[in-house]
Every structure is written in structure tokens, then in C-alpha cells.
């Protein structure tokens, strides 16, 4: 990883840690922070926000992504989630998929606030959600929508292309 990329990832992780400190979670007492790094190099953070009507709560990952969208950024190059045994829920995984490509990095940071120790697991958004609902493959989006410009086309061959070889 280049020094520039390493600095960007460190900035991303720190933004997620700071966001976790602002989580509003009086019901679950499970604070989560998240941050996204856009392809333009900007970082947007979010924290989980709960509500007495549980269905109205919002996960940190989606808050960060929606914050980026509101800021005019819709292509993610990295996502970071910070919490105790941090793992995005299914809804967050699908939202991350919508704005990612096959190379979008995902950093899961298991942070122990008491000791200050942290364990970082690096993967990709695509690996975290196998067989995701793909709006591009389903025909819901044009071939090169703004938010999926780097999505690599499937290498599966159709029957017609095999016959024409």
C-alpha cells in the first residue's frame, strides 16, 4: 500500500473512531462509528442513531454513506466500521454494494475502549455480500450509471456468445 493510501486509510479509521464517540444508542448501548472514503479522497463519517420506535433507528454505515451522497460523492473507495466485533448488517451491506466496485476496501475495526486495543480486518464490500442484488445486472440501471462507473462487467458468457466463437 502506498504511503498516500496508508494515510488515507488511517484518516478513515480515525474518522470512524471519532464518530463512534457520538453514537446515540441509549437502548442497545452498542455504539458504532463508520466512515467512507470517496474516490475523490473525501471522508464522510456517521454513527448509529437509535429511536424509541426501534424501526426508525439508523446504522452508522448508512449514515456515513448518505452523508457522502448529500455531499455530492457517490463512488466509494473504502469503508470503515468501528465497534465491538464490528460487522455491518445486511441492509448496510446492500447499501455499500450500491456505491462500490469490486475493489472497494472494507475495514472492520474491533475496538476495545477500555484497553484502547484494536483489531483490524481488511476485506472488500463485494466479499462481505456474496450474491448481492445487483441493480446493474438486473437491468434497473443503465450500463454506466454515475455511481457504478467502475463496476466490472460479469465475465459469464451467454449461450449466444459461445455459439458465435
Task: Name the phi and psi angles at 58, rounded to 5.
Answer: -135, 135
**Contact between 87 and 60 (Cβ < 8 Å):** no
Dist CA 106 CA 126 (whole Å): 9
Q: Of the listed 10, 39, 50, 61, which one is catalytic?
A: 61
Q: Which three cell numbers stand for residue 69?
A: 451522497
Dist CA 139 CA 38 (whole Å): 25
Dist CA 120 CA 111 (whole Å): 9
**Contact between 108 and 81 (Cβ < 8 Å):** yes
Closest among 59, 45, 39 to 147, alpha carbons compared: 39
The question of whether 61 is a catalytic residue gets the answer: yes
Q: List active site positions.
A: 61
Amino acid at each position: 500500500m502506498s504511503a498516500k493510501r496508508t494515510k488515507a486509510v488511517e484518516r478513515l479509521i480515525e474518522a470512524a473512531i471519532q464518530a463512534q464517540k457520538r453514537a446515540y444508542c441509549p437502548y442497545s448501548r452498542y455504539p458504532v462509528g463508520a466512515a467512507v472514503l470517496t474516490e475523490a479522497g473525501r471522508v464522510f463519517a456517521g454513527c448509529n442513531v437509535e429511536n424509541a420506535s426501534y424501526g426508525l433507528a439508523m446504522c452508522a454505515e448508512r449514515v456515513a454513506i448518505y452523508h457522502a451522497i448529500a455531499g455530492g460523492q457517490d463512488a466509494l473507495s473504502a469503508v470503515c466500521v468501528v465497534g465491538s466485533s464490528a460487522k455491518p448488517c445486511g441492509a448496510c451491506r446492500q447499501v455499500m454494494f450500491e456505491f462500490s466496485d469490486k475493489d472497494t476496501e472494507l475495514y472492520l475495526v474491533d475496538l476495545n475502549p477500555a484497553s484502547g486495543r484494536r483489531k483490524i480486518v481488511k476485506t472488500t464490500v463485494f466479499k462481505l455480500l456474496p450474491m448481492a442484488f445487483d441493480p446493474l445486472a438486473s437491468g434497473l440501471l443503465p450500463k454506466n450509471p454515475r455511481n457504478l462507473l467502475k463496476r466490472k462487467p460479469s465475465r459469464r458468457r451467454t449461450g449466444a456468445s459461445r455459439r458465435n466463437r
